[in-house]
A and B are shown apart, each in its own frame.
Chain A
């Protein structure tokens, strides 16, 4: 049976992993290569690397880090951050990424999703969305959650699926970094709207939050950052507890 995935996310800046609360006040956490190997050994099912600077000069440093991770860690690697063109796809794929996640780049140029899916296959294209509940409903934010758009999140998820994205990452701005649990109402709406795998992101603070997530919403994976970096609990612990509560996980 297909296992629910636990995915640590590593935000990378100048070759180091950082993670903020509500997208600000970054703290240096650890060395990406070391952290990736540690996560893989402790049972991570995949790793996500976000290049949070994504400037030209930083990109080459980021690719060096990625290459070094890919040389040592043999689980799927997803890369995101500053992916705006097919050339950006090409660059990170050549450094060992298996999947590429697009966010603001797809908002600016929606054809990017379809063009990338045609060239690299649907399995390669992950549509990542930063979503916030506004008066008019769930809206997509761009540029790392800083700029509000008038795009409806549910419609955007459906568009992503139709255009050829193989997976969705749904990051709730409302719950991100707060460690009060995943945004279940939002995730429920998205999961009901599409038939591709959905990865929940934003709000993981405890083992209970992951249990609640997998028991209540048909998502495929839970993503966490600070909760794993600061060793609130290990992925091994989390998976054992999930398994004993009846959630199918790979141990």
Chain B
């Protein structure tokens, strides 16, 4: 175990699920390029670029944290610079979330964080502590597919399957926010996820099918 000097975990108020997202990509790149990771405490501070960090961590000095993934706590030792995607795939062996671009362009890594679709490649593992993280594995009930997964299967909302777990999490997030989306809302809700095989039309059918069956 490595020594740690980090004190309080980052826990922005759950009442404002969007607040934490104020950790902007710009700020991320700024801190990243500095070679160290600036960790600010409190979501208001995080959402402001002029925030004064009260603590600085070396990007590659491991820290211990606990991630709530699919309803189970996972104690992991991570480098502060590690993305949530890296930790899910390489440390926890949860490989449904895929690595496609590592820069928030394709959505293959989409997971739910507190019910909202997020790119795990743009989320540091540190940022996700204290949050409810869900991956496609977490939609399963034993060997039973979740409704969105079953609808993707039935409507063939996939081809190679690589972007599929990310598409499914985007759809799951959309339907949790908006259980009865219109066609246009489905289109927009799924527009953050690329599918190079081009299965979009089947994905629309799958999401619409899932919405119908979730109601029942």
A binds B: no
